[in-house]
Structure 1
Amino acid sequence: MRRLLLAATALATLSPALSPAVAQKGRPDTDAALAGILDQGTNHSEVMVTAQQLSDVIGPRLTNSPAMRRAEAWTQAQFARWGLKNVHKEGFEFGRGWSIERSSVRMLTPRPIQLTAIPIAWTPATNGPLTAPVIVAPMKKVEDFDKWRGKLSGKIVMTTLPDTGDEPDEAPFKRLSSEDLSKLDRFQQPTYDPAALDSRLKRLDYAQKLDAFLKSEGAVAYATMSYRDGKLVSGEGYLFGKGETPALPGVQIAAEDYRRLARLAKTGPAPTLEINSDVRFDDSDSRAYNIIAEIPGSDPKAGYVMAGAHLDSWVAGDGSADNGAGSAMIMEAARILAATGVRPKRTIRFALWAGEEQGILGSMAYVEQHLATRGTSADTAGGRGMQRYYGYSNRWPVTPLPGYKDLAAYFNIDNGSGKLRGLYAERNPAVVPIFREWLAPFASMGATTVALRPTGGTDHVFMQQVGVPGFQFIQDPLDYESRIHHSSIDTFDHLKAADMRQGSIVLASILLNAADADKALPRPPVPTQPVVTDPFAYSDEN
């Protein structure tokens, strides 16, 4: 009874506060729509049902995998069922599909132990159990190969240098305090260092060179150590293009198990492992697909606002927090707005991106198809995956396309299921007072902060890099980075339902404000090639 009374009181006090801030910039019917957003987002929420379908039923959604194809079909059907319009998918060239049927890694000697391990994405199958002794041969650059020539034949090569452990020194689960949020609001000057970008690009083909070296030396498989303790594995791999598939099976072994193997190999004799990696490639369609849906605007000349999250995930867990949570909140905001019957001035477009985990490729494809290109055709012809990601910001000029000014604002969610606490303003001071006004009604929900600093690593990045106003939400971290991100425990159990309902409501309101605002958000100029930030710096790269 008390809980229900508190909830009713919170809604009663929140709803009136929504009106003044939005009415200043919006239209007369906005008040009723916002009341409907609160009702739909609390009393009729489907966000956790959506997240459960993506997590438990469909599961991990590696780009171009069979599960990702099911997710593409299901999300389109849901958008259509909720009444959204222009529901479709947009393709771009990606590469091979890949999935795990089953896998097992066991230590056979000096005693039998079932190890915690996972096949590395886009590595080949073992075609039945593969048994061989291990050798610890740490390698992280081509110059390390000479040390191990003639020593690897018939071996499972452990290529990571074992460390001594990674015991946590702080709680893995965290909510942002007022002090934490205040520290985010710092202006960070941009830096431009093309030499550093070039050095990253030179290192990207190392995985292929390592695979070729191991094969030439007669190794039968390789193993890496997971980068976190706690028996967590992730299995990231990036050789997904046709013609790039490694020759050798690869597995990532939990840090604790990897260190045990390394200790045994040090004292001798070397342990023997059995690896059974039953993985499947799918080359039926080399194109990946972004999913698009819309709530049409009343003014065809007003352009559109947009919200997105990446639908793809890695395969060790179910992709629940990264980024089933963000995808579910995007979809829920779409459902909420459709259910309220809003008819905004600008079209509201929703996107579920593919290929984010392999270099933010889905949203890059959207930018290049609809908004702007960077560099010349020669700059983009040969690169793929992480080559395109690292090379993108060093291509000039930026050339706007005819639809460049149509996108008035883009909002992204990609940091797990934590409560939305505000927005990063991406070094755009002109949007700060606007965002503060739009967030003001949600102070009692914890969404108050506008941080001038930028944030990176997700699907708003390339929009910012062509001068389109793209923004990422600030979220409570929970245990996203400490345990969940890319890991084998990224499952539904770690999602926070109250936070995701809050996030869906805040997002729906922000989108409605942006869609109905008298003017589009202030945008920076079209980027031009900057001068080198530190022209006096030396590099230790060869």
Structure 2
Amino acid sequence: MKKIPHLLLICLLLASQLLVAQTKDPVIENIIKEANENSQLEQLAHELMDKIGPRLVGTPQMQQAHDWAVARYQGWGITARNEQWGEWRGWERGITHVDMIHPRIKSLEATQLAWSPATGKKDAIGEVVILPDLADSLAFQKWLPSVKGKFVMISMQQPTGRPDYNWEEYGKKESIEKMKAERDAQTKAWNERIRKTGYTSRSLPEALEKAGAIGVVTSNWSRGFGVNKIFGASTKKIPTIDVALEDYGLLFRLTEGGEKPRIRVKAESKFLGNMPTFNTIAEIRGSEKPDEYVILSAHFDSWDGGTGATDNGTGTIMMMEVMRILKEIYPNPKRTILVGHWGSEEQGLNGSRAFVEDHPEIVAKTQAVFNQDNGTGRVENISGQGFLHAYDYVGRWLYPVPSEIKEGIKTTFPGTPGGGGSDYASFVAAGVPAFSLSSLSWAYGTYTWHTNRDTYDKIVFDDVRSNVILAAIMTYMACEDENLSSRERIALPMNSRTGEPMSWPTPRTPNRKGGQ
């Protein structure tokens, strides 16, 4: 009699193991296996970041990237196309070389800003002067003619090139507090210096250009060792260059010391006229509900200080790898799987906003959008974006994701709708359940977001592989779901600043003719 419970226990264990074996989904198992054993991420990253490079809207490299992606998809047997949504001022970066030639010779770490004019047939050579601290805009106008033939420095000299974390590791408390107080005071004073000119940091370079300056010198430090943000120029005839903090400080101190430093700038960029702008669209057609969609989303463009590796090369190659794996493992999805590689996200979500505006038939029947943008890290947060029942369907799609991936993800339901920041917001505004697969930092905001250090070596491929598995499984589950997702929205809470109820974001018209 004592053996019966023991035999019963064995039977129950065998039955439970059999049940587990029967409920394992071979599609999910094969997705995981393919992602881990046959990953193409490193090769895709090499081709995109190393061979093509940065993808500034309106540049030949952006067009090259679109064509490369289409060819890659077609090679995997996936239908793909480049879909024009507008045009942009065309520009091509050339060689930038900046040297200090007085009081001594030194090559400087510097580059042109995007869409900066070239120096012409001859290098630009001139003295460097600092934007002075004048009483008001009248005094500035009197000073302005003196910039003729000179380079003008319009950024503050940073009191330290050490990031705060380095100070906090080694500095005394009193030194840290003193440094931060001095930096805050200098920042406030410099902002006031610009305000008193009567111009903004955006319009000031144009005023200097009109007055005869031969170049504008900036330094947009990103608060990390050797890291600067590299954005766009507002000058139309003279170059605008960004100089690394270390070299900018050198020029600034020499100028303040009366040494009258001189620099030579070679900038060989060129304008190309208006260029067509595209989204790259690829899709695996649905077998049962082809007119319903699950959309994978990542912007394709980048700034061009680095190679756009983590913003948003990692999102791009992640979604390409998801599509490759699904085509291999799940070639006949119930719903159509569409991937959008959007153009000109950096200038205001223009590519995705254009897609939403141009394809109401797709927007009306989209099951979900999964967007990845903010760096190379593994996904750590998913918000319900204000959709009342997101907990139900996103929860179902997340359920079979391996625990080692899923356990690190914080979910916030129902959340509130995102109004901007990345392309999922274009869909949320149109009422589509669109979710940001938000990554952990890896010092993204300081070291790679829009900087000169956003390069291949910063990619953490294990984390990107984890994100591929997550997105592929969620896409599969969303395709297989019996019902189209509910779009019912929550009643939004009060805005703490205005005391008024928050409002759902509304679709915005894209800029279809930019950079003019």
TM over 0.5: yes
Which among 446, 457, 469 is matched to residue 493 of structure 1?
457
- Equivalent-residue separation in structure 1 for 2:68 and 2:244 (angstroms): 33
Matched-pair contact (CA < 8 Å) for 1:212–1:247: no
Q: 1:58: which partner in 2?
A: 52
Task: Look up the equivalent residue of 1:58 and give its one-letter code.
Answer: I
- SS for the counterpart of 1:303 is strand
- Equivalent-residue separation in structure 1 for 2:453 and 2:63 (angstroms): 23
Q: 2:395: which partner in 1?
A: 436
Do residues 502 (structure 1) and 491 (structure 2) align? no
Do residues 334 (structure 1) and 326 (structure 2) align? no
The Cα of 1:47 is off from its aligned counterpart by 1.5
Q: 1:41: which partner in 2?
A: 35
Runs of at least 5 residues in structure 1 that lack an aligned partner in the other structure: 1-15, 21-29, 173-204, 240-244, 372-401, 537-542
- SS for the counterpart of 1:231 is coil
- Equivalent-residue separation in structure 2 for 1:224 and 1:238 (angstroms): 10
Do residues 263 (structure 1) and 253 (structure 2) align? yes
- Equivalent-residue separation in structure 1 for 2:375 and 2:153 (angstroms): 32
Q: Per the alignment, do residues 104 and 410 of structure 1 end up closer, same or farther by CA in structure 2, a change over 3 Å counting? A: same
- SS for the counterpart of 2:421 is coil
Which among 305, 320, 323 is matched to residue 309 of structure 2?
320
Matched-pair contact (CA < 8 Å) for 2:293–2:362: no
Q: 2:412: which partner in 1?
A: 451
Do residues 162 (structure 1) and 151 (structure 2) align? no
Aligned pairs (5 A) from 1:455-474: 456-474=420-438
Greater CA drift, 301-310 or 432-441: 432-441
- Equivalent-residue separation in structure 2 for 1:138 and 1:520 (angstroms): 62
Task: Look up the equivalent residue of 1:84 and give its one-letter code.
Answer: I
CA deviations on 1:174-229 (whole Å, 9 max, x unpaired) are: xxxxxxxxxxxxxxxxxxxxxxxxxxxxxxx9576434311221111101112224
Task: Look up the equivalent residue of 1:476 and give its one-letter code.
Answer: L
> Who wins on radius of gyration, i.e. which is larger?
2
Aligned pairs (5 A) from 1:263-412: 263-283=253-273, 286-300=275-289, 303-371=292-360, 402-412=361-371
- SS for the counterpart of 1:92 is strand
- SS for the counterpart of 1:359 is coil
Matched-pair contact (CA < 8 Å) for 1:238–1:358: no
The Cα of 1:138 is off from its aligned counterpart by 6.5
Which among 239, 242, 257 is matched to residue 249 of structure 1?
239
The Cα of 1:249 is off from its aligned counterpart by 0.8
Task: Look up the equivalent residue of 1:349 and give its one-letter code.
Answer: L
Q: 2:176: which partner in 1?
A: none
Matched-pair contact (CA < 8 Å) for 2:67–2:82: no
The Cα of 1:167 is off from its aligned counterpart by 2.7
Matched-pair contact (CA < 8 Å) for 2:54–2:302: yes
TM-score by length of 2: 0.79
The Cα of 1:88 is off from its aligned counterpart by 0.9
Greater CA drift, 325-334 or 416-425: 416-425
RMSD (CA atoms):
3.0
- Equivalent-residue separation in structure 2 for 1:17 and 1:500 (angstroms): 29
- SS for the counterpart of 1:50 is helix
The Cα of 1:500 is off from its aligned counterpart by 1.3
Task: Look up the equivalent residue of 1:406 and give its one-letter code.
Answer: K
Q: 2:186: which partner in 1?
A: none
CA deviations on 1:267-320 (whole Å, 9 max, x unpaired) are: 21321111111112223x522110000111123465101011111112121211
The Cα of 1:166 is off from its aligned counterpart by 5.0
Runs of at least 5 residues in structure 2 that lack an aligned partner in the other structure: 1-18, 168-198, 501-516
Matched-pair contact (CA < 8 Å) for 1:323–1:414: yes
Q: Per the alignment, do residues 439 and 148 of structure 1 end up closer, same or farther by CA in structure 2, a change over 3 Å counting? A: farther
Matched-pair contact (CA < 8 Å) for 1:126–1:278: yes
Matched-pair contact (CA < 8 Å) for 1:322–1:415: yes
Matched-pair contact (CA < 8 Å) for 2:126–2:149: yes
- Equivalent-residue separation in structure 2 for 1:51 and 1:231 (angstroms): 24
Aligned pairs (5 A) from 1:8-157: 31-85=25-79, 87-127=80-120, 128-137=122-131, 145-146=140-141, 148-157=143-152
The Cα of 1:435 is off from its aligned counterpart by 2.3
The Cα of 1:84 is off from its aligned counterpart by 1.2
- SS for the counterpart of 2:484 is coil
Q: Percent identity?
A: 30
Matched-pair contact (CA < 8 Å) for 1:422–1:439: no
- Equivalent-residue separation in structure 2 for 1:428 and 1:143 (angstroms): 50
CA deviations on 1:389-409 (whole Å, 9 max, x unpaired) are: xxxxxxxxxxxxx44321221
Greater CA drift, 338-347 or 503-512: 338-347
The Cα of 1:146 is off from its aligned counterpart by 3.8
- SS for the counterpart of 1:356 is coil
Q: Per the alignment, do residues 348 and 403 of structure 1 end up closer, same or farther by CA in structure 2, a change over 3 Å counting? A: closer
The Cα of 1:102 is off from its aligned counterpart by 0.9
Q: Per the alignment, do residues 276 and 356 of structure 1 end up closer, same or farther by CA in structure 2, a change over 3 Å counting? A: same
The Cα of 1:19 is off from its aligned counterpart by 8.8
CA deviations on 1:377-432 (whole Å, 9 max, x unpaired) are: xxxxxxxxxxxxxxxxxxxxxxxxx4432122111111121112342222334212
CA deviations on 1:301-360 (whole Å, 9 max, x unpaired) are: 651010111111121212111111110000000000001133222111011111112222
- Equivalent-residue separation in structure 2 for 1:258 and 1:335 (angstroms): 46
- Equivalent-residue separation in structure 2 for 1:223 and 1:287 (angstroms): 31
Which among 194, 212, 215 is matched to residue 221 of structure 1?
215
Matched-pair contact (CA < 8 Å) for 2:384–2:435: yes
- SS for the counterpart of 2:94 is strand
